[in-house]
Structures are given as structure tokens and as C-alpha cells.
Amino acid sequence: MTEPVVSMKNIRYSYENKNVLANINFEIPQGSFMGLVGPNGGGKTTLVKLILGLLKPDQGSIHIFNEPINKLKDQNKIGFVSQKANSFNKGFPATVFEVVSAGLTSKIGYFKFINKAHKSKILETIDQVGMLDYAYENIGNLSGGQQQRIFIARALVSDPELIILDEPTVGIDYENVKRFYELLHQLHHVQNKTLLLVTHDTGTMTEYATDIVCLNKTLHFHGNPEEYSSLTEKDLSQFYGHPVNIVTHNH
Amino acid sequence: MLADFFQYDFLRYTFLTGLLIGVIAPLLGTFIVVRRLSLIADALSHVTLAGIAFGLMAEKKFGLMIGPLYSGMVFSVIGSVLIEKLRTIYKAYQELAIPIILSAGVGLSVIFISIADGFNTDLFNYLFGSVSAVSKNDFFMILGISIFVVLVVVFLYKELFTLSFDEEHATISGLHAKRIHLLFIVLTALVIAASIRIVGVLLVSALMTLPVAASMRLAKGFKQMMLLSILFGELSVIIGLVSGYYLSIPPGGTIVMVSIIILLIAIGIKRIRSKPEKARNSA
């Protein structure tokens, strides 16, 4: 069995004396497509921030690519896509090319310039997310779904091994969400990327993910989509702390 | 029309200095505007005024010839570091740092001016700019600052852009966001101190923001916006300086009014351009 990409042991994190996360033990195996679900305020984003090194746990250890998180040398092994399509400043005057090039900034290093090889890599990545026709358009002129593809390209351009997506489909219409999942599927299957997807949209996600984790302060479930689908409403109510109605998507 | 500017030394230095600040003010202004920090330039210019008042007071009262431009620069840089400190103290209300530093600048200025029993035309020149105030020494110092600023922006362009577009992403990808930001704010302080001789304390932030506001309407992409801002900045400085000289008006006023006219034209062009698009879209 291959080494896990992320391994969290006995993690506790509290904010203003409130336990946000407790007793978290889990691993993200290499090559998996993990879906992370749970109620609002259940600590999903906090968990992501711990993996990204933006927060430090009160207790426990985090290893990334087998190294303690504070010794991780190459941040570019992790790509991150946030809910940016909703929250970024839409008037920002930058072209798609410029936005994607920002994904290479730290990889290229200080005092160095973008060269021809970087430029073709940027265009190739924009092509990969199907947005090459828009490479020199201002990002503000694109739709939410298109912008989110650009943010994926920015995360991809530095060739990360692990890609973390925090609710990337919020505010994107159904058709585009579907195309979005197809893109993730291709990244996972064709390019062997490890994916961690935080989402509310459990319906579509179960069609693509290989592992599902339910988080509400602590991990309530960790299994494959079949096991997740066989959970009853009663089980889920326990995870969420309130009654849940299972809605099936038939498409 | 430009003949006088090449004939007389003092005008020549003013003109050359004007060309320099026409580049560096909009250059940094581009990052300032997109990061929504426009008011920081105002706060820092008022702190610079306190430094200038301090320099003038030291000269008049104690015979210390520090040079008001140098004391202004020192105050401005200290002010920029304090703004950053305050922004970390008031994390949820970062904009509070601006009125705090701005009012401290004005307060200190009033105190220094009254200790010195007031200044005369000198202070007026610092407030609104002057066509005859740039000495040879001033020019060489401003040339040094300009070279430094341009080099930093060229060599750290991709970092500054990445940070301006998305600070969270910049931090996650491993950039030293805080250090780069501090360096940037110190550069801003230097550019403001350098620009004050010509445009004056009250109008220096205009030269950093108005050309950017105009180019934002027209440019495609960030780099293009930056170059267009510099072009508009240069146009404003040249037309403003020459007309200010011939009309005997402080150049701060004429430079800013030229920038405003450019801005209005840019808004007009954008309207005309987007009308056919809208018509097409609604058809």
C-alpha cells in the first residue's frame, strides 16, 4: 500500500475556548478522491486550513507527504481551490492568463521572470480546463462556473500532487456543476491526482468519490460511497445532530 | 512652450522630477488601488507633512539643516510601518489605521508649525506643490528613489501581483506575504515623500489613484492597466506642470485637474464602447 498523502493523528483545535475539532484521526490515501461532508460549523473549513498550514492544531500531529507539516519544503505539492468564484473582487483587472500565472509565482521563485516554458505551461493548463478561448479576457467578464475553472487551472499549473477544493460549486448552476465534476474525474483518473473535496452536494459527489468522510467536530463516518449510500436517515441524523431527509438525485 | 523648462536650471530639475514621479506614482498606485488601499496614500502624505513641518521648525528654531524633504521621508516611512502595526492590532477593522495615522500626522504638523511661529510661502509650496522648488540635490535623491522603486517592482512584479489578486492564495503557496507587503508600504511612503515637492501634500494621493482609475476603465489585464496608468500619469504631469507655470498656479492643482479630465474622457470612451455591446447582447 502506498504512503498516505495526508495523515492526521489525534488532532484537537479550539477557537475562543470552543472545541471546533476533537479526536481527529484520518488519512488521505494517495490517488484517492475523498469527499468531506458535514453540517455548517462542523469544522470542515478548519480541517482544510490545518492541512494547508494556515492554522496550527492545539494538539496532535499532521504529516503531509510523510513530513511533519512545519517541515514541508514544497508548498507547491498542494493546490487549493476555494469558494473564490463567489468571494473574489470581480472588478479586478486581470486576464485569465495573468490569474493562472499567479499559480506559478512561488514555484518560479523570487527575482526571477516568467519564461517561455512557463508561458506554454500556463496556456496548456488553461486549455486543460477548457478555457483557452478566453485566455486573454478579463476574468471579471466570465461566468461563475468559468471563473471556478480558472481557479482550478491556477491550482493545477504548479503540478500539485494533492488538490484541495473547499465548496467549489457553491453558486454555480447545475449544468456547470456537472462539467466541473467531469473535470475533477479526469484529474483523478487520467492524471492520478489525489483530491480532497469539501462539499454540501453529497448527491453528485458520491458518483465520483472513492472515499467519503463525515465531519461534525469529530469524524462520524469514513468509508466508500456504497457504504455511505447504505446509511439510513437515522445514522445521518446522528452525524448531523438534527433530522436529515435523504434526497436522491436521479440523473 | 517647453523652452523655459530647458533654459532655467530650477525649471529643468522640476520638469525631470515631474517625469520621474509621473512613472513611480501611478506604478505603485496600480497595486494600491486594486488592493483597496487608496486612503493609505492620504494618511502617509499627511504624516510626511508632519515630517516636513518638523524639518522646517528645526531649521527655523534651532538652526538644524536636516532638509525638510529628508525629515518628511523619515516620518512617512515610520508612518507606513505604524499603519501596518495598527492593521494587525485591529484585524477586524483594518481601515481604522488610516484615520488614526492621518490625524496624528495633521496633529503633529499643527504642533510643529506653531512651535516655529508659522512658516510663510514655504509651507504653501509643500501643500500645493511648486514649479520652482526642486533643487539639484532633491532631484538626485528622487532619481535614486525612482530607480530603487522601479527595480523592486520589476523584480518582484509576479509576487506583488499574486499578493494583490489573492492574499490567501499567496500565503498558501508559500510567499512571504507579510514581508512583501511591508516592503511595498515602505516603497509607497518613499514615493509619496518624493512626489510632494511637485504635487503637494494635499494632492499626492491623486497622482497615485486618478491615472489608475482612468486606465481601469480601458485596460485589458493588469500589465496593460499599469502601463496605461503611467502614460496617463506622465500626460498629467507634463501638461499640468507647463500650464501651472504659465498660468502661475501651483502645479498640484493643474496636474490633478488634467488627471480628472483624462479620467472623464476614459469614462466617456468606455460608455461609447460598451453601448454597441449592450445593444448586441439585448438583441
Q: Going from the N-terminus, what domains does chain A have, and what CATH number goes with each?
A: 4-240 (3.40.50.300)
CB contact under 8 A, A108 and B34: no
Chain A nearest-CA distance from B159, in A, is 6
CA distances from A83 to A152, A199, A222 (A): 11, 11, 24
Helices (H) and strands (E) in chain A, counts: 10, 10
Give the tens place of pLDDT for each residue, A127-143: 999 999 999 999 999 98
ipTM, interface predicted TM-score of the complex: 0.88
Q: Is A178 left (phi over 0), alpha (psi -120 to 50) or beta?
A: alpha
Q: Are A154 and A84 in contact (CB under 8 A)?
A: no
Beta bridge partners of A24: A11
The pLDDT, as a whole number, for residue A251 is: 47
Q: Are A201 and A177 in contact (CB under 8 A)?
A: yes
Q: Which of B155, B174, B221 sits opposite A106 (nearest CB)?
A: B174
- Biggest alpha carbon–alpha carbon distance for chain B: 74
CB contact under 8 A, A105 and B170: yes
Model confidence band, residue A246 (pLDDT cutoffs 50, 70, 90):
low
The pLDDT, as a whole number, for residue A84 is: 64
Model confidence band, residue A169 (pLDDT cutoffs 50, 70, 90):
confident
**Nearest residue in B to A79, CA atom:** B173
**What would the DSSP string read from start to end of A158-171?**
T--SEEEEESTTTT
What's the CA dihedral at B209, B50, B91, B213 to 10 degrees? 0
Chain B partners within 8 Å of A102 (Cβ): 158, 161-162, 165-166, 169-170
Model confidence band, residue A85 (pLDDT cutoffs 50, 70, 90):
low
Residues on chain A bordering chain B, Cβ-to-Cβ distance under 8 angstroms: 52-54, 75-76, 78, 80, 82, 84, 88-89, 91-95, 97-99, 101-108, 110-111, 113-114, 136-138, 154, 158
The pLDDT, as a whole number, for residue A61 is: 92
CA distances from A30 to A9, A162, A225 (A): 17, 8, 17
Report the C-alpha gap between A175 and A148 in whole angstroms.
14
Q: Are B153 and B27 in contact (CB under 8 A)?
A: yes
CB contact under 8 A, A93 and B222: yes
What residue type is A41 in one-letter code? Answer: G
How open is the CA angle B192-B195-B200, to the nearest 5 degrees?
95
Please, what is the angle between helix B157-165 and helix B177-199, to 10°?
100
Give the tens place of pLDDT for each residue, B39-65: 999 999 999 999 999 998 998 888 888
Least confidently predicted of A35-39, A50-54, A229-233: A229-233
Chain B nearest-CA distance from A108, in A, is 10
CB contact under 8 A, B170 and A111: no
Chain B nearest-CA distance from A118, in A, is 13
CB contact under 8 A, A98 and B156: no
Which uninterrupted H or E stretch holds A196?
Answer: strand A194-198
Average pLDDT score over residue span A154-165: 93
Report the C-alpha gap between A228 and A236 in whole angstroms.
9
- SS3 for A62? strand
Which uninterrupted H or E stretch holds B281?
Answer: helix B251-282
The pLDDT, as a whole number, for residue A245 is: 60
Average pLDDT score over residue span A40-69: 90
Kind of pairing between the strands at A33-37 and A18-29: unpaired
Give the tens place of pLDDT for each residue, B187-200: 999 999 999 988 99
The pLDDT, as a whole number, for residue A248 is: 54
The pLDDT, as a whole number, for residue B278 is: 60
Residues on chain B bordering chain A, Cβ-to-Cβ distance under 8 angstroms: 34, 155-156, 158-159, 161-162, 165-166, 168-175, 216, 219-223, 225
Q: Which of A91, A102, A113 sits opposite B161 (nearest CB)?
A: A102
Counting every residue written for chain A, the total comes to 251
Average pLDDT score over residue span A199-216: 86
Show Cβ contacts of residue B174 under 8 Å, excluding neighbours closer than 6 positions. Answer: A75, A76, A106
Interface test with A, best of B158, B222, B274 (most A CBs within 10 A): B158
Chain A partners within 8 Å of B219 (Cβ): 93
Where in chain B are the domains?
A: 3-277
Nearest in space to B53 (alpha carbons), one of B132, B128, B106, B131: B106
Chain A nearest-CA distance from B192, in A, is 24
Could you confirm whether domain B3-277 is CATH 1.10.760.10? no
Chain A partners within 8 Å of B161 (Cβ): 94, 98, 102, 105
Chain B partners within 8 Å of A89 (Cβ): 34
Q: Which of A84, A99, A114 sits opposite B158 (nearest CB)?
A: A114
Kind of pairing between the strands at A4-15 and A18-29: antiparallel
- Residue B26 corresponds to which cell in the numbers above? 501611478
- Residue A185 corresponds to which cell in the numbers above? 474525474
Comparison of pLDDT for B262 and A69, the residue scoring more: B262
Question: For B174, which DSSP code?
Answer: T
- pLDDT tens for chain B, residues 1 to 283: 677 877 888 789 999 999 999 999 999 999 999 998 889 999 999 999 999 999 989 988 888 888 888 999 999 999 999 998 998 888 888 889 999 999 999 999 999 988 888 776 678 888 888 888 788 888 999 999 999 999 999 999 999 999 999 988 898 888 999 899 999 999 999 999 999 988 998 889 999 999 999 999 999 999 999 999 999 999 999 999 999 999 999 999 999 999 999 999 999 999 998 876 666 555 4
The pLDDT, as a whole number, for residue A249 is: 53
The pLDDT, as a whole number, for residue A175 is: 80
The pLDDT, as a whole number, for residue A226 is: 83
